[in-house]
Structure 1
Amino acid sequence: MAGFRIGRGRDNRTQQQQPQAPPPHGQQPWPPQAGGGHPGGHPGGGHPGGHHPQDPYGEPQYYGDPYQQQHQGAPYQDPYANNPGHTQVFSTNDPYGQGATYQAGSAPAPPVGPRLHWKQLLSGVVLRPGQTFLQMRDYPVWGPALTVTFLYGLLAIFGLDKPREETINATLSTAIPFVLTTAVAFVIGSMMLGAVTHTLARQFGGTGAWQPTVGLSMLIMAITDTPRLVFALFLGGENSLVQLIGWATWLGAAALFTTMVSKSHDLPWPKALGASAIQLIALLSIIKLGTI
């Protein structure tokens, strides 16, 4: 056993000491020798005279001059960028790339102006509708909308001849719940119609929020019909003057609805008018004409 081990060690030592065959003529062993130089070359690993190192197959390797393009005035481009195993180089000046716009997760545009006081809001709907709707497109207006709509609903029933007679002839215990129920129903109905207008506006490509759209639509419904309601309380809903005022205020409501949807959703006026069509038809049928 001892001799066998000695024999194995002797054979292995003999194989390790066998000289290797010299490389073919004109080729140099790779990798280079310790010290950074090549046999027969210059010490220190330099390559004087512009010579390039050779690979194991005898072909020269060209690494290129990374500063050559900069010396010529052109920006440096990494020849290995965007290749497998290499990292793409990005500019730190523009985080989204030239000509590109960041969309996903981008912050919304700031409001046009501060929130209007309820007095300024109510007067602005009539006197400055364009500026008011544009400034309030990012603010909910539930407080003024619910209050004004509920107060209007309390009186709306007296603008129709038959419901007014029934309410006046009824007892107080019967009339009060009927009036309150009508006001609540008008609030809920106006909210539903405003939601329909908002949904149609979004279908047409609008970008507005639903709370300002619904709230402003409720204000438009109540404010624009107030002149007709005032005359209808004394003259009745069938009076010719009341009917004329009703048609005129309905056209005014159409103009305000179109302006509001256009400003709130960034839509052209034909699409804004189309988004308000269902609410306008309901307003004409239920309140102006009293056919439903």
Structure 2
Amino acid sequence: MRDGQPSATAFGAAQHRAVHQDLDGGVVFSDPLAWAILGVDDSARIVESARGGSRHGLRWFIAARHRFAEDRVRTATTRGVRQVVVLGAGLDTFAYRQPDPAVTVFEVDHPATGEWKRERLLQAGIAIPESVRTIAVDFERDDLIAAMTAGGFAPDDAAVVMWLGVMPYLTPAAVATTLRAFGAMADCEIVFDYRAPITDPDAAALAAASDLRARTASVGEPLSKPVAPAELHGVLRTAGFTVIDDLDRPAIRRRILGLEPLGGSGGGHIISARTGEVSARRP
């Protein structure tokens, strides 16, 4: 993390979301605030440099994970959930696009990052709805649920949590701690992405994974070790989650992108897990 700003990888992911609006017409994930929150002066150059680039797969994955997460949020709020948590909020704009004033959105992030974002919103002319709560948390030291509760979160009520672009950089212990915190709730759904080992001989997938590891390491934010789906599912169940919907590459292509389900199951996965029921869904 850069002092008082989102991490370099979070900023890069936000650029991919913004480029998707122009280069792909936002066909998977629509975010009219994507460029405004970035505050860059050279958007045309950024779009042009991405045209025909080698990282289009990552751009589509980032669009897909946000589409899936926000679809799950809409489903949850339709059934009456009134608390949405954006964990590691960074440059996410959901809180400023969602139209229901009865839904409270808790943006949780490091204090310095949260302060930077408030300044960025002011500069961009993006209004902060009264339904948004900013929760400052030092993830290394603070009790997550206690800090959120102090900011108005009700752990006894239902909630849906978006935790995107974060888990692949954390240690297994940090992941387990976060999952236990939300898994203790009676009615909670968490949506996040993770990296699974690449087991198929897909040269393009292996090259893309190698490029991503090199780039994140070069900015001081190395990726953690990939985790096998069965291992992660065990961690989720131990934490209290009983309904697991895990999308691998073929499932992402089929269910979100509407494409032929090509490729193996390794690489980026998008997953939803809920407490309170006993079930599991295959990709």
- Range of TM-score over shorter length: under 0.3
Which structure's relative contact order is higher, taking Cα pairs within 8 Å and 6+ residues apart?
Answer: 2
Which protein is richer in helix relative to its size?
1
- The two structures have a TM-score, normalised by structure 1, of 0.21
